[in-house]
Amino acid sequence: MSTEDKPLIFEVSQNNFEDLVIHNSSHLPVLVEFMGMWSEPCIKTEYAIAELAKEF
């Protein structure tokens, strides 16, 4: 997998959502996770997503 093909994990906000998510989704898969740092299930999901990003 080249550097260009590596999955990226990054935080988005209302200010950059369209640029980072909407525009990128036209040419590659995009997964959006809405997370609360106070939520244990969200924290566990974040770890699982990071592991999947390494694999795919």
Contact 30, 43 (CB under 8 A): no
* Residue range of the domain that includes 31: 3-55
Under the banding of pLDDT at 50, 70 and 90, the label for residue 4 is: low
Nearest to 29 by CA among 7, 48, 11: 7
Under the banding of pLDDT at 50, 70 and 90, the label for residue 7 is: low
Determine the average pLDDT of the residues in 4-14.
Answer: 75
pLDDT at 17: 92
Does this model's pTM top 0.95? Answer: no
**Number of domains present in the structure of the chain:** 1
- Please tell me the distance from the alpha carbon of residue 20 to that of residue 8, in angstroms, as a whole number: 11
